[in-house]
Structure 1
Amino acid sequence: MSTPFVQQPNLTAIALGYKNAQFIADQVSPRTPVGANNFKWTEFEAKDTFTIPNTLVGRKSRPNEVEFGATERTDSVVDWGLEDPIPNADIEEARNNPAIDPQGRATMKLSELLALSREKRVADMVMSAGNYNHTETLSGTDKWNDAGSNLIEQISDALDTPLVRPNSLILGQQEATAMRRNASLVKAFNGSTGDVGMVPWEFIRQLFEIENIMVGASRYNTANKGQDMSLSRLWSGGASLLYINPIAGLRDDVTFSLTAEHGERVAATREDGDIGLRGGVRVRVGESVKEVLVAKEAGYYFNAVL
């Protein structure tokens, strides 16, 4: 019978404190705590919320009843976790060298991969036209890296299209570079004196009156185990305008996406006699979360911007 995993406060602190500046999933799909594995959330629908009902009330009559355009959903969090086996030889060596912490290092590596997995899940959700009520596929001179592209007109019209005006722009690194070099934006920044250069993000944010610009720069290996590494960008192919409410709850709040989180990320260890010749310790890092798409109406997606 195997030894059970024991949660380690010092390793849990490392797992909780881990942050990768290139990852934007927690900003795009903010975490919100739930009290159990199963939870309920509200999927937003637009049609009834914006229909004006008859509000006139007679002297002795009841006010008209309304049902808001939302559907209650039931879901459950999913456990995500990874392990790293550490031979006892590494642990013994660390006892004589305080600068070496094999369990802490393993916790960091596992936290990185766990966060990368979540980053891909959120990127796949955001960079998918099927998750929006409003989409546009660019072609020809409309593409952002074309000299004839009027990016200012595209973004301005898109911001005015959803019933909930987006407050955030999400795009990949290559798309971000093309946007900052777009001739229409460069001319607006330079006062029509030139169309070559790089536009500052602050100018773009103020021009379109959006609160946040998030650039996903992370990559992942698409090759199968044993094959040569083949890196691809997680956030690529399009650009999204989203309404993101960082303090929204799962019930009755409008935002593009939220992540239900049961408990916090944890790190635990257990002894394992089957590691190498002299046994060792297994480090496990995991979390229980579920990303949900709350409102398709709270966004606009540009497909194939390059």
Structure 2
Amino acid sequence: MPAVQNVHVDSVLSNVAVEYRNRKFIADGVCPMVLVPKKSDKYFVYDKKDRFTPAKTDRGPKDSANEVDWNVSQAEYSCNDKALKSFLPDSVVANSDMPLRPRTKTTETVTDLILLDREIRVKNFATTAANFGAAYKITLSGTSQLSDYDNSDPIGVIDTGKSACFYEPNTMILSKPGYDVLKRHPQLLDFVKGGATSSAPAQVTIDVMKEIFGVEHIHIGAAKYNTANKKQAASFSYVWPKSIVLAYIDPNAELEGVSWSKSFVWKQMAAPQGYKVRTWRDEDRGGGGEVIEVETSIVEKAVCSDMAYLISEAFG
């Protein structure tokens, strides 16, 4: 283990890790980050009855105003440390030609794998039926699946899911294959057929789909991962399954804000955007070199479980 005085938090490489994002990853949009000062702690959960139960507001000339109250309960989070590192030999750096930047590329590669792990983790969190109450999920099958263009009713299915949530969802989450099926559905194409020609056929863009379904954000999971073991030939699949998630997600997530999901990130092991890069020398490997490590401490949680709806097996 390197001595503490030889470990350096590299602000330049931390900025690389923060700024570098695989654009196919959607985990940050599904489960936004909230920086917290402690690795584990409690946070308040407000009782929604207090703000939605009508109160008598009339007050007589000699009377006092009716008094109301509000209550909170507490929930806990506990961040989990996540880290990967890579060794960069001095010989590789010395023999590198421009525009190859070994330190930057190493940081980006390690960050990409940290982000891939988070993407898979958030996908599991967001699409596992056991994480949703009975009133907040449905499984489609047969002719009800949205890939059945003759019989399925995507607008009706989405409206049912939105109605089930306590806050109307502002976000739809689906896989790239699911989006490709949905954008060709006749029910949606009917909205854009006017003016279409053989040279300019009707297309359901993301913006059109937002308008049809009445959501502000659509996150399309296009990331892939290798499902094979390390010594086997690579076999790539999409991270996100053929499900749809509807959720209210606060775009400006904060500790006490209302949102279906949040990622609690411990400040000690994260730059402002969630990741930190540490470096140190290792003179015993390959004639000497630098170790580059990307780290964070994070946990994803559903903090308002009645604000999301899962549609499993949405596509055949």
- Pick the TM interval, shorter chain: 0.7 to 0.9
Cα–Cα, structure 1 residues 2 and 162, in superposed 2: closer, same or farther, change >3 Å? Answer: closer
1:209 match: 214
1:107 match: 107
User: Contact between 1:46 and 1:297, CA under 8 Å: does it hold in 2?
Assistant: no
Cα–Cα, structure 1 residues 128 and 285, in superposed 2: closer, same or farther, change >3 Å? Answer: same
Q: Secondary structure at the match of 1:188?
A: coil
The one of 190, 194, 199 equivalent to 2:193 is 190
Letter in 2 for 1:260: F
User: Contact between 1:42 and 1:294, CA under 8 Å: does it hold in 2?
Assistant: no
TM-score of the two chains, using structure 2 as the length reference: 0.85
Cα–Cα, structure 1 residues 156 and 101, in superposed 2: closer, same or farther, change >3 Å? Answer: same
TM-score of the two chains, using structure 1 as the length reference: 0.87
| Shift, 1:250, TM fit | 2.2
| Shift, 1:45, TM fit | 6.4
1:150 aligns with 2:153: yes
How far does the alpha carbon of each residue in 1:128-176 deviate from its partner, in whole angstroms, 9 at most, with x for none?
A: 2222331111111111110211111111222222111101111000111
2:166 match: 163
Q: Secondary structure at the match of 2:183?
A: helix
Letter in 2 for 1:158: G
Q: Distance in 2 between the 1:246 and 1:39 partners?
A: 23
Name the stretch that deviates more: 155-164 or 105-114: 155-164
Q: Distance in 2 between the 1:62 and 1:53 partners?
A: 8
RMSD (CA atoms): 2.6
2:290 match: 281
1:266 match: 276
User: Contact between 1:86 and 1:275, CA under 8 Å: does it hold in 2?
Assistant: no
The one of 56, 63, 69 equivalent to 2:67 is 63
Letter in 1 for 2:211: Q
How far does the alpha carbon of each residue in 1:236-273 deviate from its partner, in whole angstroms, 9 at most, with x for none?
A: 1300111011123222x221111112231221221113
Is there any run of 5+ residues in structure 1 with no aligned partner, and where?
Answer: none
1:178 match: 181
User: Contact between 1:181 and 1:197, CA under 8 Å: does it hold in 2?
Assistant: no
1:292 aligns with 2:301: yes
Q: Distance in 2 between the 1:292 and 1:57 partners?
A: 43
How far does the alpha carbon of each residue in 1:206-244 deviate from its partner, in whole angstroms, 9 at most, with x for none?
A: 122211111010011122222222222111130011101
User: Contact between 1:162 and 1:299, CA under 8 Å: does it hold in 2?
Assistant: yes
Cα–Cα, structure 1 residues 172 and 116, in superposed 2: closer, same or farther, change >3 Å? Answer: same
Q: Map 1:1-306 to 2 at 5 A.
A: 2-3=2-3, 4-43=6-45, 50-52=52-54, 59=63, 63-67=67-71, 71-94=73-96, 97-133=97-133, 134-147=136-149, 148-190=151-193, 198-251=203-256, 253-261=257-265, 262=267, 263-264=270-271, 265-276=275-286, 278-306=287-315
- Identity rate of aligned residues, in percent? 28
| Shift, 1:300, TM fit | 1.2
| Shift, 1:41, TM fit | 2.6
Q: Secondary structure at the match of 2:16?
A: helix
Q: Secondary structure at the match of 2:190?
A: helix
User: Contact between 2:24 and 2:223, CA under 8 Å: does it hold in 1?
Assistant: yes
User: Contact between 2:16 and 2:107, CA under 8 Å: does it hold in 1?
Assistant: yes
